Amino acid sequence: MLKQIVNQAKNKKFTQLKYILAAIALTTPLYGACENSISDIIPIEQVVKDISYLASDELKGRANFSPERAQAAAYIAERFAEIGLAPMQTKQKQLTQKPHIALFLQHFNVHKIQPQHISVSLNHSAIGHENITMATTLAELSWQTEQAQSHVIGKDDDMRKVLQQLNQQGGQHVVLVNSAHRKTFQLYKNYFDAGLTKLAITQPGAIVLVLSDESQLSHYQVKAQAKISQQSLSNVVGILPGHDAQLANEVVLYSAHYDHLGTTADGRKIYNGADDNASGTTAILNLAQYFAQQGNNQRTLMFSAFSAEEIGGFGSRYFSQQLNPDNVVAMINIEMIGKVSKFGPGTVWMTGIERSNLAQLLNDALPENLANNGLAIQADPYPEQKLFYRSDNATLARLGVPAHSFSSTQLDKDPHYHQVSDDLSSINMSSMHQVIELLAIATQPLVDGSLTPSRIDKSKVRLQGKIY
């Protein structure tokens, strides 16, 4: 089945390919005049081919749990095999032939939790369903007064902060929310009523929210049920073992998520996710090809395409449990590089720049001819968006890894983010290609072992919630 999927991908006719390449031919490559040019190793034709397939209508938006998500995974696995990477569980020197692409798939299960019924009585009065919601990892709730902790969020309280604290605490909670927070309550209700996804249910708990101006809770009764089921997903992971005996146990991780949003509810329009994140997935494929052809990596390089980022980052969470994070020197997580950044074509910014010295070291290592052109790793220009926590780097950062996301998107003015218009026509292919080249040059000292960034202080990274 996997081989059939890959053959379909190889035989796919990309109607826009010729047009895109013709347009790129009219531009001047950013590094074309530099002695550090690597365009012959990272050919633009392969970059265009990869993103064109991953963002094609054939993959229908690469939704989690869809056949098309598996189809995308098979394409990535075949590329890893062709490049010469080894599956994560197999050392390259043990391979006598090209590994089967199924070996690159890292399977894991997630739990889908769907609320079925909930009723709440406060002080002997029934509450309307429109004023109740819950986040739960329990299949059944049957609470009487004092069987759960009770809380009141007053009109002047920070609702999000209170719920964040309860989520990190875990356990069982009934929360009265003052009607002054009605809009925020509705956002939580929409989110919770749609159901939750969890990688594992290790600490059962629940938070029941009730929109009410009651300030005293002398009596309550909660009855609820939820359906819990398991579904399978997979990451795609390949490695390029290090050549230095002492450095080979140190890992440089290049990653991107390959899942997206699928289609609209009626199935008529596709969220192709060209920028988010076919662009990042294309980057790790071509960086893998570049470093494999270089053949001089002293550290072990690992390339991971994560699934389930769009539904909570469960692919990276599972991945982080399959290796010793202390061995990961740095994580270069590539997220949305298909648009020109506010700093100019071919430039990128990095989330959490203050949390390690990675950006400083990468910039110090850049060749003078690039640095003079302003091609430095920039700080995240959108700190209010809290992007450090919104991609797969956060999971590894919580474990102390210098894990950061690299992006070029202008989030404050991008009309295509999570829209059906995020397709190939919105991508600046030349700038994206230049970003991939810049990352290859900037991270070379990580690869050859001459640069080791400081670790992230785990105590200063916000913990993951235990309930939602």
pLDDT (0 to 100) of residue 90: 60
pLDDT (0 to 100) of residue 208: 98
Average pLDDT (14-26) is 47
DSSP calls for 371-414: HTTT--PEEPS-GGG-GGGSSTHHHHHTTT--EEEEE---TTT-
Distance separating alpha carbons of residues 111 and 343, to the nearest angstrom: 41
pLDDT (0 to 100) of residue 38: 54
pLDDT (0 to 100) of residue 332: 98
Share in percent of the chain as helix, strand, coil (round to 5):
35, 25, 40
Contact between 339 and 348 under an 8 Å Cβ cutoff? The reply is no
pLDDT (0 to 100) of residue 306: 98
Residues 153-182 pLDDT 10s: 999 999 999 999 999 999 999 999 999 999
Per-residue pLDDT at 385 exceeds 80:
yes
% of residues, the chain, pLDDT over 70: 90
What is the pairing mode between strands 270-271 and 262-263? Answer: antiparallel
At 217, the pLDDT band (50, 70, 90 cuts) reads confident
Residues 30-73 pLDDT 10s: 444 344 455 566 899 999 999 999 999 999 999 999 999 999 99
Residue for token digits 């089921």? 229
Per-residue pLDDT at 312 exceeds 50:
yes
Per-residue pLDDT at 423 exceeds 90:
yes
What values do phi and psi take at 274, rounded to 5? -65, -50
CATH 3.40.630.10 domain residues, the chain: 2-109+233-460
At 372, the pLDDT band (50, 70, 90 cuts) reads confident
pLDDT (0 to 100) of residue 63: 98
Residues 445-454 pLDDT 10s: 999 999 999 9
Range scoring the smallest mean pLDDT among 90-104, 120-134, 269-283, 395-409: 90-104
Range scoring the smallest mean pLDDT among 122-126, 318-322, 374-378: 374-378
| pTM metric for this prediction | 0.89
pLDDT (0 to 100) of residue 95: 56
pLDDT (0 to 100) of residue 369: 79
Of the candidate CATH numbers 3.40.630.10, 2.40.10.120, 3.50.50.60, 3.40.50.2300, the domain formed by 2-109+233-460 belongs to: 3.40.630.10
Per-residue pLDDT at 185 exceeds 80:
yes
Average pLDDT (394-414) is 96
Mean pLDDT across the chain, nearest whole number?
91
pLDDT (0 to 100) of residue 227: 97
What values do phi and psi take at 145, rounded to 5? -50, 130
Integer CA distances (angstroms), 400 to 255, 305, 403, 453, 460, in order:
17, 21, 8, 11, 10
pLDDT (0 to 100) of residue 20: 54
% of residues, the chain, pLDDT over 90: 83
pLDDT (0 to 100) of residue 14: 45
Average pLDDT (427-449) is 96
- 13 or 305, greater pLDDT: 305
Distance separating alpha carbons of residues 326 and 342, to the nearest angstrom: 34
Average pLDDT (81-92) is 83
Per-residue pLDDT at 371 exceeds 80:
no
What is the pairing mode between strands 328-334 and 251-257? Answer: parallel
Q: Which two tokens mark 373?
A: 């052109």
Per-residue pLDDT at 223 exceeds 50:
yes
Residues 349-362 pLDDT 10s: 999 999 999 999 99
Distance separating alpha carbons of residues 168 and 462, to the nearest angstrom: 9
